Amino acid sequence: MRIRTYVLMLGLLSLGLAPLVPAAEAGDSKLALTPLRSALLPESVQNAISNGDYAEAQSAVVEALKKKKISLKDESSVHLAMLNELIRVTGAASLSALAAESKEKSRFLKEFVQDTEWLELYLSCGLVPYQKKTGVEVLYRIWEEEKGEVKNKALAVALASCWGGGETWQNPPLAHLLPNKHNPVRRYKFFQKQDRKGLLHPNYRNLKPWELRFVVANPGQDWDDESYEFAARAINMPWDKYGIACWAATYTGTSKFGDSVQGGAYNLPYANESWAEATLRNGGVCGAMSHLGAVAAMAHGIPAYTCGQPGHCAYAVRTERGKWVGGFGGPDGGMHNMIFGHQAPTSYNLMEAVFGDDEKVARAYRKSFCARALEATGDAVKAEKMWKSALKDSPMHPFFRAGLHALMKKNGATPKECYKYLMTELLPHYDGHGVAAMDARADLADELAGMEDKERLDIFQREHQALASTPSSWAVKLDGLVEKQAATLQTDSSRQELLRIMFSEHIKRGDGTTFGKLLEWAVKTYVATEEGSLMFNKAFAAAAGSAGEAGNDAERSKKMADAYNKAIVAAEQARSAPAFQALTQGALALGKPAYKAGALQKLGEMKGKPAKAALFRISSTSNWDTPQLHLGITTPEGGKCHTGKEKTPNFIVELQNPGFTTGCLIRKTDGNEHRMKKAIVSTSEDGATWFKRAETDNMPKEWAVKFPDGTRAKWVKLEFDNPGPDFAHVSHFVIFTR
């Protein structure tokens, strides 16, 4: 206890007042966390830093730590632990190199290591630039600009993090960026100025560095500084509208001078304008427009990211914690800015869950610094305990898990101990975050290899339980994860059991998307061979049987049909054409439903021939739906589908081969034809940008739509705009190609 604290406590105790507690105890997650006070560093550390020798400083820090009881109770030990972490993560060589560049830089570093508030913000921001000086140098440049009094340290940290990447994500690739277009100081000044003028979202000032990284953007992917300045002037909308800000620009594949957006000359006439200005004034396609929408949001202090989708680019904005709203077909896809992985939504859901509680995550970070410090001093046992204590506060933090797992391996954890740890300490925390659970467990692959199949299947079942409760999307890639599960198993019967576990866990819960994705993987992996098909069918039948109570043959047959129907709709939600096709075949092999669609009367009016469909997607399903007949709807023979009650129910046909389409023929199912009056047919080449081809306020029983000449499409959508929620049901939605 420090002298000054004793003196103060003496006075306060004499007056009958409670003593001030400087900080939370290690392991006690209930105490409030207070700002960490700066302690003067030991002389040996100071001398090494003054000499710009950070390797020496690191040794001195470790020596000093050895003399201390490293815990949250001792703030000076936490301060030293943070310094240890700064040198570990940045690299002693990088820090020494930076210090050697100038006296000012050396002076900045001396001040920075004493500034516990700033140091803590930097080391707790999520991605901390790893083994390079970039991040600290960005902080220096802002410090230099602010003449040593940095007003917004959180913003500076976000910029440093975005410019420098992190241990798990070395992006951004700064090397190809021109420094006159991507300048962190200019961006810092821009946000400070906008903030002073009150031009940023009311929540901007509450954003932490991990959130601000989605405001200052990833310079390797997002636009130039001038784009921010331009977008702040040129796009001003109610706060909740930035999800459509992309439409401030015109969607155009041709420039004002006739050049295709796919070619190099498109933006050449406007090369002296920022990307935002060039796009707003001249238009663009999904890539430029999504960036425009995102930059417009970010320029107003609203977190956003752009993301890649197959053949498309989209974006997302976030006006309140945890709520990402899609723009231009987002938020799902491969995020161009991220902390824990780039798969939206699972990656950002994990990030929001980890950082959602400011105090808990801050405490966990302090413990993680202590754990690293304990490791550095050679106390592996206490270090392991400290990692576990950090994980009590933040159970899903991937970096803390990785830290613990590395230490467990180093400490020689056996497969049996790892099994117990996974089943009792790791997996129970990951409900709703199944992908994260599987990623975290992957650190212990060697230990998993040392287990029995039965133990592995226990672990996989628990993972699939977590996965089934995880909000997912068609964009989330699961193939690699389940592939690894299957590869770890020793026998085909174990793999069949894995399939059964997968099907039965996902058939019972979830929104169907993950089920569809897993079905796609299973179909691609197993259905190609006879033995594989047998495994698949047995597993599917067993899972279908386990979906309810066992009964007689008719009941079992009905259960199988129900399971197939659910699986087909899941495949549609997951946008999986192979699974959709295979499951439809499987379902029809069980027996075709006794239903015959009415005959088409206008077939002769259509030009070209019916196109083969890869996938039929229904916007929602209902008890009257017949998914095994969905594929038939895309053929002249017809089929049957039935949505739930919706304001805008829709059907989308994905063609096997994109190309020139001539039109489509739509027919309502027999009965209740009064429904589905206002209808729109649109086409798309990327599955996200739709062009209206026909519209009617009173769709007839059979509607022949002719597309303009030269209409290329891979997707054709039929959408109804009902006055209120209502059903939609068609027997035919046949697309014609040349």
Restricted to residues 278-297, the positions that interact with other proteins (CB under 8 A) are: 281-282, 296
Least distance to other proteins, CB of residue 272, Å: 7
18, 32, 264, 594: which one contacts other proteins (CB under 8 A)?
A: 264
Residue 226 Cα distances to 183, 253, 295, 441, angstroms? 10, 24, 11, 43
Under the binding rule (CB under 8 A), the answer on residue 380 touching other proteins is no
Stretch that binds other proteins, among 116-124, 252-260, 342-350, 673-681 (CB under 8 A): 252-260
169-228: contacts with other proteins (CB under 8 A): 173-180, 182-186, 189, 193, 195-200, 219, 225
Q: Shortest Cβ distance from residue 309 to other proteins (Å)? A: 22
Contact 77, 61 (CB under 8 A): no
**Spatial separation of the C-alpha atoms in residues 46 and 173, rounded to whole Å:** 34
- 24-83 positions binding other proteins, by CB under 8 A: 39-43, 76
- Which C-beta is closer to other proteins: that of 169 or that of 270? 270
Instruction: Tell me the C-alpha to C-alpha distance, in Å, between residue 738 and each of 393, 568, 639, 657, 735.
Output: 62, 29, 23, 12, 10
Query: From residue 103 to residue 132, what is the string marking binding to other proteins with x (rule CB under 8 A)?
Result: -xx---------------------------
328-367 positions binding other proteins, by CB under 8 A? none
Mark the segment that binds other proteins (CB under 8 A) among 261-269, 443-451, 610-618, 675-683: 261-269
Distance separating alpha carbons of residues 219 and 63, to the nearest angstrom:
39
Q: Which is nearer to other proteins, 206 or 411 (CB)?
A: 206
Task: Select from 221, 212, 168, 164 the least CA-distant residue to 188.
Answer: 212
Sole window of 87-95, 311-319, 492-500, 703-711 interacting with other proteins (rule: CB under 8 A):
703-711
In the complex, what is the shortest distance from the CB of residue 301 to other proteins, in angstroms, rounded to a whole number? Answer: 10
Strand partners, 325: 317
Partnered with residue 646 across adjacent β-strands are 726
Residues 237 and 245 sit within 8 Å (Cβ to Cβ): yes
Query: Residue 723 interacts with other proteins (CB under 8 A)?
Result: no
78-116: b or e for each residue (b if 16 or more CB lie within 10 Å)?
Answer: bbbbbbbbbbbbbbbebbbbbbeeeeebbebbbebbbbb
271 or 487: CB nearest other proteins: 271
Nearer to other proteins, 9 or 577 (CB): 9
- Least distance in Å: CB of 557 to other proteins? 45
Residues in contact with other proteins, total (CB under 8 A)?
Answer: 95
Closer CB to other proteins, residue 33 or residue 234? 234
**Using the rule CB under 8 A, is 258 a contact of other proteins?**
yes
Residues 601-660 touching other proteins, rule: CB under 8 A, are 660
Of 346 and 683, the one with the shorter C-beta distance to other proteins is: 683
Cβ atoms < 10 Å from Cβ of 62: 17
**Comparing C-alpha atoms, which of 159, 304, 132 is closest to residue 219?**
159
Min separation Cβ 38 and other proteins, Å: 9
> How far is residue 62's CA from residue 67's CA, in Å, rounded to a whole number?
9
Least gap, CB of 237 to other proteins (angstroms): 6
Binding of other proteins by 16 (CB under 8 A): no
Tokens of 235: 């796009």
Judge whether 38 and 114 are in contact, CB under 8 Å.
yes
Among 18, 32, 147, 657, binds other proteins (CB under 8 A): 147
Residues whose CB falls within 8 Å of the CB of residue 340, separated by 6 or more in sequence, listed in order: 126, 168, 347, 350, 351, 354, 398, 436
Segment 544 to 603, residues that bind other proteins, using CB under 8 A: none
Contact 703, 665 (CB under 8 A): yes
Q: How far is the CB of 292 from other proteins (least distance, A)?
A: 10
Helix (H/G/I), strand (E/B), else coil: 175? helix
| Contact yes or no for 611/711 (Cβ under 8 A) | no
